[in-house]
Chains A and B, each alone.
Chain A
């Protein structure tokens, strides 16, 4: 029961480590951005999970409901999602520019070109 109750948090940890591993291990810059996205998404789920109140409903005042989920973490994460989208957009824009300048998006090939120069 207890382990199942922490189900969300297990997902958070798995996603976080997956994303982190992709960022570190992949040489393709686009894949790095994908990894970074997964990494950030795990943090969104962490926040969303902690806002949930057992038995609570959406935080809209209505007759017959006493318990509401905490809306604050959800609102915070809306901001964080916007930041995440901006980061992804900027990262991909940089990848496009790198591709124009080097003709490749593979990290090792870029390093090779830099050493030759």
Chain B
């Protein structure tokens, strides 16, 4: 009975938890409820993916209205996998949140914080699960509005301006997406994505459809911080509370990548307007520029959080490269990197949160001597850094390996070179942190009251994500297998 309604529960559980968190008022109680909701969401996502993998796509009619009139939740291998990533990050970040949030936010804001976090989770899961283009916009705005609030809760006053900048850019992006959806509705008369995919091919040449395609691409590009549209991201990540940075870095851009995949390959996939050559000419240069420019900028940052934020834009570049190839190998690389990068970057930002708890700052100089003071946190950071570079036996290596194969398949040696240079640049910025932390004596080394290791409730979630990014670097069958099935499904080969 309940099992049939899992797709609705996936969104409803965190949605109901949000106002309840606000009513509970007390930070500790709100945290406990949010924790329960996020674990429930994770369990539901795992059940859904398992069901999809064994019996094929699930279609859920909201309120019993048949699609294309009613809103349909449709779960296939692609969004089942993304749902699992988002829910897993939520489930890992929440146990960590209690100590970190108690440290960074005043007591009276904590219940509000968990409310916004639950709403953000609702929005991200909703965007992923829905099969209706307009419903996608509504969920996108739920997640965006709550993430503006979450970012503005940062302690530094620059968090406010960062949130404002993100609000302006995010709203423009979302409005572009609605305009695109509106134009598609105008010519097809439907909002259901599968229905759109069926009705678009005959009118693929029409100017309206091309305009819709352009609006959707730019709007989604703003949301996923595609290279020249990424200016909101570094500040937003740098000044947000540690938990928020880890959560958003691991989920928000990933969900936007999923949106791009969905629009390109499901909605426009069967239409001729999606000329493969156009896609390659558009996305590959942007991906290359993102990798080269943002990795270089990351090297010159003095704030480690900001450095990792720039590195995130570069990593989005790798995913966009994979999408640009529009081949099975390319999409597999993009999807598997989506998973691997969520684990790695989530783990890295959580490790930074541990440092922020003990040091009060994550400026690179203040990390001096940290290798001895917080060995477990620092070692987690090093392993995460290796995965970011793409050292063998880490998850980052697997995604780059598949991506290089996709590039070689197309005979695109330039992209192969760019991937290698990008890895070298990543090695430079990760090494800067390692050097300061391990080879430079701390300023207060002699003082008796040293800096202790972070509490277990924060260390364990950090190590779960870092551990995952090592585990999935060695046991690749699960992630690569699902990613490849998802890629084939998107390209129309069936799951």
Interface residues of A (CB under 8 A from B): 20, 23, 29, 32, 36, 39-40, 43, 46-47, 50, 73, 76, 79-80, 83, 86-87, 90-91, 94-95, 97-98, 101-102, 110, 114
Contact = CB atoms under 8 A, between A and B. Distances in A.
Contacts of B137: 80, 83
Contacts of B145: 83, 86-87, 90
A90 B148 contact: yes
A40 B171 contact: yes
Given A43-B179, A46-B179, A50-B186, A87 B160 contact: no
Going nearest first, the 3 A-B pairs with the smallest beta carbon separation are: A101-B157, A83-B141, A94-B164
A46 B179 CA distance: 8
A73 B185 contact: yes
Given A76-B134, A94-B160, A50 B168 contact: no
A79 B140 CA distance: 13
Contacts of B164: 29, 91, 94-95, 98
Contacts of A29: 164
Contacts of A43: 175, 178-179, 182
B460 interface: no
Nearest to B152: A94
Interface string B115-145: 0000000000000000000100110010001
A54 to B, nearest CB: 15
B163 A94 contact: yes
A98 B160 contact: yes
B168 A36 contact: yes
26 contacts: A32-B168, A36-B168, A36-B171, A43-B175, A43-B178, A46-B179, A46-B182, A50-B182, A50-B185, A73-B185, A79-B138, A80-B137, A80-B178, A83-B138, A83-B174, A86-B141, A87-B141, A87-B145, A87-B167, A87-B171, A94-B152, A97-B160, A102-B157, A110-B161, A114-B158, A114-B161
B16 interface: no
B367 to A, nearest CB: 21
B171 A98 contact: no
Nearest to A20: B172
A91 B167 contact: yes
A100 to B, nearest CB: 9
B186 to A, nearest CB: 5
A88 B141 CA distance: 12
A23 to B, nearest CB: 6
A20 B168 CA distance: 10
Contact of B168 (A23, A79, A97): A23
A112 to B, nearest CB: 12
A95 B148 CA distance: 13
Interface of B: 134, 137-138, 141, 145, 148-149, 152, 157-158, 160-161, 163-164, 167-168, 171-172, 174-175, 178-179, 182, 185-186
A17 to B, nearest CB: 13
A98 B138 CA distance: 27
A86 B119 CA distance: 14
Contacts of B179: 43, 46
A102 B159 CA distance: 12
A63 to B, nearest CB: 26
Contacts of B148: 90, 94
Given A94-B167, A101-B157, A23 B186 contact: no
Contacts of B185: 50, 73
Contacts of B168: 23, 32, 36, 91
A39 B175 CA distance: 8
A36 B172 contact: yes
Nearest to A86: B145
A79 B137 CA distance: 10
A50 to B, nearest CB: 5
A87 B172 CA distance: 11
A98 B148 CA distance: 14
Nearest to A79: B138
A29 B168 CA distance: 10
A24 B33 CA distance: 42
Given A46-B179, A83-B141, 10 more contacts: A20-B172, A29-B164, A32-B168, A36-B171, A39-B175, A73-B182, A73-B185, A94-B152, A94-B164, A94-B167
A32 to B, nearest CB: 6
A39 B215 CA distance: 14
Contacts of B163: 94
B278 to A, nearest CB: 25
Contact of B167 (A50, A73, A83, A90): A90
A52 B260 CA distance: 31
A96 B186 CA distance: 39
Contacts of A47: 182
A101 B160 contact: yes
A36 B167 CA distance: 10
Contacts of A36: 168, 171-172
